[in-house]
Amino acid sequence: MARVGGTEQAYAARKSRIHAGRRHAATRVLLALALCLAWSTLAAAQPDAIENFDRSDQRLLRDNKAIKRKFAFYRSGARYLAAISYQVLRMPPERVFDLLQEVNKTLPYLPATHKATRVKSKDGVERVQMVHGNAWLQGGYTVLWEPSRERGVIRFWMDPEMPHDIADIWGYFRLQRFEAGKSLLTVAVAVAPGEGYKGPIWEQKIHKYMLKSARYLRKYVDKLVAKEQRKVTAR
């Protein structure tokens, strides 16, 4: 018996939804695999514990100086600029983790960051909208924000379905206990700037800003610690 009228249209709509769901699921699987490869690219470039830094780097960390690494790589035909920076903070990991979760207060302290806004989620996934630049030139994107308090890690990666002025970005913040009352912060970022930001001059500028991230967050933490100490002294 042939399907007619509304019944045939309903069948076609249901079939379309099933195919769309399968395509969406496949896309999510491919994205997850790509992100796994991406995280491994950054992780392979860094030590996983303070003991694995050489002696000169350990001295830098204890002298309140940053350790910085930069490199570039290609993935899926796109050129990515990557940077990893390490900095000791005068605050326990748990408190720094909470500060990073206050995205509208803390993330604007990152280099060339105009503002950061938590986006209302419809699917249970946290998102943060980032705007970089200055009063004359600004660009932005939205990242999915995945905090893990147990691991002391916050991962982020660009949501390609939201408006974006760059091709791609992903990375993470990691916090480890360093000494009593202190943390070792790792900031790892990889960005594919896109067509409008090609060339050595742009790449130098982008790498320069990326490598300042841990140091800028240290300044923010130092400011908070100094404020707390003044309050204690005033009592």
Please determine, for residue 209, whether its predicted confidence score (pLDDT) is greater than 70: yes
Range 76-97 burial, b when 16+ CB lie within 10 A, else e: eeeebbbbbbbbbbbbbbebbb
Q: What is the pLDDT of residues 136-176, one digit of tens each?
A: 677 899 999 999 999 999 999 999 999 999 999 999 999 99
pLDDT given for residue 199 in this prediction: 80
Domain definitions of the chain by residue range: 1-44, 49-234
**Fold (CATH) for 49-234:** Alpha-D-Glucose-1,6-Bisphosphate; Chain A, domain 4 (3.30.530)
Residue 164 and residue 114: Cα distance in Å, rounded?
Answer: 15
Q: What is the pLDDT of residues 135-144, one digit of tens each?
A: 667 789 999 9
Please determine, for residue 60, whether its predicted confidence score (pLDDT) is greater than 70: yes
Least confident of 67-76, 94-103, 226-235: 226-235
pLDDT class of 34 with cuts at 50, 70, 90: very low
Which of 204, 171, 170 minimizes the C-alpha distance to 187?
A: 171
pLDDT given for residue 4 in this prediction: 45
Least confident of 128-132, 195-199, 228-232: 195-199
Read off the pLDDT of each residue in 211-226 and give the average, rounded to a whole number: 94
Read off the pLDDT of each residue in 188-206 and give the average, rounded to a whole number: 86
Read off the pLDDT of each residue in 68-82 and give the average, rounded to a whole number: 91
Which of 102, 104, 167, 99 minimizes the C-alpha distance to 130?
A: 104
Read off the pLDDT of each residue in 74-97 and give the average, rounded to a whole number: 93
Q: Which two tokens stand for residue 34?
A: 């790509």
**28 sits in which H/E element:** helix 5-43
pLDDT given for residue 128 in this prediction: 95
Other CB atoms within 10 A of residue 66 CB: 19
- Name 198's Cβ contacts closer than 8 Å, sequence gap at least 6: none
Share the mean pLDDT of the chain: 81
